[in-house]
Amino acid sequence: TAGVGIAALLSLYTLKRFALDAEAVFNGPIYTWMVSGGINMEVGFLVDQLTAVMISVVTFVSFCVHVYTIGYMADDEHNWPKESLAGRNSYQRFFSYISLFTFSMLMLVMSNNFMQLFFGWEAVGLVSYLLIGFWSVRPTAIFANLKAFLVNRVGDFGFILGIAAIVMYFGSLDYREVFELAMDPSKGFADKQIDIFGGVSLMSAIGM
């Protein structure tokens, strides 16, 4: 909880620098983990005004959730059978899940390429699956868990189609390169192609 609180304070500093002081956009790769067919698979970050706002929202809301969870999970051992091994460390597991959720959201909003965005998306879906089915001794939790898993696969399908279309038309996964090519009229990207990207993105949003 203290770590998330510190992250929330740092996010306010980031918000001041990029949103209020209009500092130049930071966009850079940190590590290239694979190159395939001329496509770089990178870990990188993009921080601009919109990103700074979203970082602040994610960390502030997460901090509030962490504080609430301290009391919410205080007596959680009573929700489990006495012989349940899962109930003995439920407090620690729940905090680890919501902390991982925060990390995944930050990776999603700070990514500078579509592949990293997809991995952040998948991590958010995974932690959502774990949280929904946290009380595994309840049949309703297991049913809701399975439902969320199946619905998220619809979003994954749309997301993968969108990434494949971007690679096919633009030959890159980097935000900056893709957006520059899309806005360049000399490249001849038709409105129909842009509509396809929007359609698969909508499918992803419905799945999530």
The pLDDT assigned to 123 comes to 92
The answer to whether residue 197 is domain-embedded is no
Let me know if residue 205 belongs to a domain. Answer: no
Instruction: Report the half-sphere exposure of 144 (CA within 13 A, side-chain side).
Output: 14
- Say yes or no to pLDDT of 23 above 90: no
Asked if residue 182 belongs to a domain, the reply is yes
pLDDT digits over 52-93, tens only? 999 999 999 999 999 988 887 777 666 666 666 556 677 788
Q: Tell me the pLDDT of the chain averaged across its residues.
A: 81
Assigned domain for 203 exists: no
Q: Which residue has the tokens 């929904």?
A: 132
Q: Which amino acid is at 44?
A: G
Question: Is residue 88 situated within a structural domain?
Answer: yes
Asked if residue 19 is part of any domain, the answer here is yes
For residue 113, give both structure tokens: 């390429």
Number of domains in the chain: 1
Range of the domain at 4: 1-191
Helices (H), 111-138: 114-132
93 is a domain residue: yes
Please state, in angstroms and rounded to a whole number, the distance separating the CA atoms of residues 150 and 152. Answer: 5
- Cα separation, 131 vs 127, whole angstroms: 6
Residue 23 falls inside a structural domain: yes
Q: Is the predicted pLDDT of residue 133 greater than 80, yes or no? A: yes
- What is the C-alpha separation between 133 and 72, in angstroms, rounded? 17
The predicted model gives 121-131 an average pLDDT of 89
Q: How far apart are CA 105 and CA 122, in angstroms?
A: 10
- Which residue has better confidence, 75 or 123? 123
| Cα–Cα distance for residue pair 152/148, rounded to 1 Å | 6
pLDDT band at 136 (very low <50, low <70, confident <90, very high): confident
